[in-house]
Chain A
Amino acid sequence: MEYIKDGRLNIDKTKHQMPTTVHDPCNYGRKSYMTFGDHHADNIRWITKQCIDEEHYREMVDSPLNNLCCGAGGGAWALPYDEERLAYGKYKSDQIKATGAELVVTPCHNCRDQIMKGLAKEHDLGNYKETMYLWELVAESLIIEPWNDEEVAKGHAERDAQNEKFEIDLDQEW
């Protein structure tokens, strides 16, 4: 967020011209609020709207604090209850479908995997096409300017010193 506000990132909004919604992870919304008295739901939306045009944004929930878990919280990916995990996500699937969004943005590994690898195959998500991490949306919206010669030389010097320190030989066969 700081990078965008300070003008350190050059973002091209035309790269993602599709109906887009945000899924709030429990940890950044409700549980953050319950633990620290503050949450990040507004920040997630603000960053998303720096990367897509406002007209493409579709809100999924009345209150991010009352949002439904995707079904993969609590370490569900490392638990043997896949059937329950997918059934749990039916509510989230219906919510995604109702937004009409093609792109779901979320800043959580578990949520992203559940929507992309779980719910999209198990349930009808309507117009849904893809899920992106919030930082993936930012990275894929960037116009990346190559560094100048001086910066490149500095980067290479640091890299070479580091590879020597850790005894990394990129030419070796594995």
Chain B
Amino acid sequence: MDEPIKITRQKRLFDISPEMANVCLTCGACSSGCPATGLVPGWDPRKAIRAIVLGMEQEVVDSKWPWVCTLCGRCQYVCPMGVLLLKTFRACRIARDRDKVPGPLQKGTDMCFERGNNLGIPKDDFLFLLADMSTEVEEDEETPMPGFHVPVDKEGANVIITINSKEPFGEPDDMIFWWKIFYAAKESWTVSSENWEGVNWGLFSGDDANMKIQCERVLENARRLKCKTLVYPE
């Protein structure tokens, strides 16, 4: 007969209490309610949690599972025993070597750290685009907004808004929705000239240090410009 597995705190990839093996009742509520169940052969939330508590963290970390899981939190919400599944699966992303993070996630995270936005849009191009579009919007045939411009680095503005870099990069007209609302409401608002990125890829890539830096930058912009309200439409 095989020896029973001994679960200890030693040699764990991340901080999992050995008691977790008993806390999880293997009821499968997590897997039943998970739209990702069946998408990665061999894995679902229940199996991944069992593997992790039994000391097979590395297998889960190396698998596609933590990345096909969208971190929606439904498993953790329904777990009758309060197992922190969402937190554990994100810990699996953190445990991936940075050069093995799939797709452009980590590249975008690093780009944001270096250049202030995920796609590396230069400051001059960004400011020119906003100024150029402001003129077009003012004279728009359907809904003209005379007097409109995008206020950049306006100190003391009531509202500061972040921007999803995909918009200046590929869907610039989508920025106009917020501009129309601010114009109609006659709001005092602004955009920062730097670190205006409204997407935090460190959250998804499992890069906590960069995630915090990104949060701090967004808050710092609001503090520097003395804005009362931060709008983060992501």
Is A37 engaged at the interface, CB distance under 8 Å to the other chain?
no
Chain A contact-residue range equals 35 or more
Most buried by B among A10, A72, A78, A166: A78
Hey, which chain B residues are within 8 Å of A168, CB to CB?
127-128, 131
Question: CB-CB < 8 A to A76: which residues of B?
Answer: 70
A65 within 8 A of B: yes
Residues of A contacting B128 in the complex (Cβ-Cβ under 8 angstroms): 168, 170, 174
Are the CB atoms of A146 and B73 closer together than 8 Å? no
Query: What separation, in Å, do the CA atoms of A80 and B103 have in the docked complex?
Result: 5
Contact in complex: A146, B181 (CB < 8 Å): no
Taking a contact as CB atoms closer than 8 A, the residue among B74, B102, B146, B166 that contacts A79 in the complex is: B102
Provide the A92-111 mask, 1 if CB < 8 A to any CB of B, else 0: 10000000000000011100
Give residues 122-150 of B contacting A (CB, 8 Å): 127-128, 131-132, 134-135, 143-149
B35 and A68 within 8 A (CB): yes
CB-defined contacts of B134 to chain A, threshold 8 Å: 159
A–B Cβ pairs within 8 angstroms, 17 of them? A26-B70, A34-B86, A65-B77, A75-B201, A75-B204, A78-B104, A78-B108, A84-B39, A84-B68, A135-B181, A144-B145, A144-B184, A158-B149, A162-B131, A162-B151, A162-B152, A166-B152
Per CB-CB distance, the 3 closest pairs between chain A and chain B, nearest first, are: A75-B204, A155-B147, A73-B70
